């Protein structure tokens, strides 16, 4: 009996450690270099994150079943149109279980930002996505600067943080006096 309790206790402890590690991985993403990835766009060619070094990247994770995500994608689409000329790139990654549904959603919701299909959800796991919508701000050097979970509306503080990243000098200009 005592060996079953100690085994059950060890399993519980292991689960707590794994859950804590997973939560810490998502939290520790801020300040870390964003993991590189390449994903197919619903329309167009493959997109590789590292190709956007030197630009500020908004990386948004969405699903066709997420009603809040539709609102957020519309807001991000507007931000892209507003700040694209200042060096903003917005990428939206679907973490749908059903890629047919994701493709239908992409077809029905025209967007100016690339809608990427993460069929294996490997990119979502690499960034510790555990709820939707999840949005990250990545600076010009490729480091995650902000992580937003369950961001329902783009507000003034979000725009202030985004503008601060956009106002940061591009990497090539940093060597100039």
Buried b (16+ CB within 10 A) or exposed e, 18-42: eeeeeeeebeebeeeebeebebebb
Q: What is the pLDDT of residues 68-108, one digit of tens each?
A: 888 889 999 999 999 999 999 999 999 999 999 999 998 88
pLDDT at residue 8 above 70? Answer: no
pLDDT (0 to 100) of residue 71: 87
Residue 81: what pLDDT?
95
**pLDDT at 3 (0 to 100):** 52
Share of the chain above pLDDT 70, in %: 79
pLDDT, tens only, 148-176: 987 767 888 889 999 999 998 765 444 44
Mean pLDDT of 102-127: 91
Query: Residues of the chain with pLDDT > 90: what percent?
Result: 59
- Please, what are the domains in the chain? 31-175 (3.40.30.10)
Q: What's the whole-model pTM score?
A: 0.79
Whether the bond into 149 is cis, omega within 30 of 0:
no
Q: Which residue has the higher pLDDT, 53 or 10?
A: 53
Report the pLDDT value the prediction gives residue 10, as an integer from 0 to 100: 41
CA distance 48 to 113: 14
3-class DSSP string for the chain: CHHHHHHHHHHHHHHHHHHHHHHHHHHCCCCCECCCCEEEECCCCEEEHHHHCCCEEEEEEECCCCHHHHHHHHHHHHHHHHHHHHCEEEEEEECCCCHHHHHHHHHHCCCCCCEEECCCCHHHHHCCCCCCCEEEEECCCCEEEEEEECCCCCCHHHHHHHHHHHHCCCHHHHHCC
pLDDT range class, residue 134, cuts 50, 70, 90: very high
Contacts of residue 37, defined as CB under 8 A and 6 or more positions apart, other chains included, come to 48, 49, 122, 123, 126
Mean pLDDT of 134-145: 96
Using an 8 Å Cβ cutoff, are 123 and 93 in contact?
A: yes
């Amino acid at each position: 009996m005592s060996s079953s309790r100690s085994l059950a206790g060890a399993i519980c402890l292991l689960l707590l450690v794994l859950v804590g590690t997973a939560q810490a991985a998502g939290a520790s993403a801020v300040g870390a270099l964003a993991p590189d990835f390449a994903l197919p766009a619903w329309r167009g060619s493959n997109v590789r994150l590292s190709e956007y070094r030197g630009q500020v990247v908004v990386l948004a994770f969405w699903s066709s079943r997420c009603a809040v995500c539709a609102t957020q994608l519309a807001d991000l689409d507007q931000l892209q149109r507003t700040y694209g000329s200042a060096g903003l790139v917005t990428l939206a990654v679907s973490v749908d279980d059903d890629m047919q549904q994701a493709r239908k959603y992409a077809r029905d919701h025209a967007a100016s930002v690339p809608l990427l299909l993460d069929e294996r959800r490997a990119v979502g796991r690499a960034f510790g996505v555990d709820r939707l919508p999840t949005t990250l701000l990545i600076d010009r050097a490729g480091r995650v600067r902000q992580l937003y979970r369950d961001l329902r509306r783009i507000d003034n503080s979000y725009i202030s943080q985004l503008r601060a990243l956009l106002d940061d000098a591009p990497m090539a200009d940093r060597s100039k006096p």
